[in-house]
Structure 1
């Protein structure tokens, strides 16, 4: 699992990051340190943070599974 921690280099965040990084992929966002530089006043910075924390390959897999199973077509036919 990927875990995004904002402020992961701070006093509390560093402890939380250390704990979760033992079993998970931890992405740290912060002002001047971490995996992603984050400026909460800049929408591009916020978007970049979420893109780096996302699973784009999972989204593609879900789309493939929905298309191949025919769920969308069944929902349309049933009137949902």
Structure 2
């Protein structure tokens, strides 16, 4: 039975690590994320801890392409008008 499970397990792609759903793995992931934020954004650990975690994740994952007011078409960036032009 164990051999059957092994045969049908998901095959990992190059560079993909097996994920374990344990509290220790979650803690390791969160600590690694906090260290990366401190290093990349030059924040202190106190600043990271005082920040709302869900907003922090949204901030990190935000891409300008997600903004509904900005659209990139054929390599050109277009911004949605916020007010009527003066000639109108």
Q: TM-score, normalised by structure 2?
A: 0.25
Say which structure is richer in strand: 1
Structure showing the higher helix proportion among its residues: 1
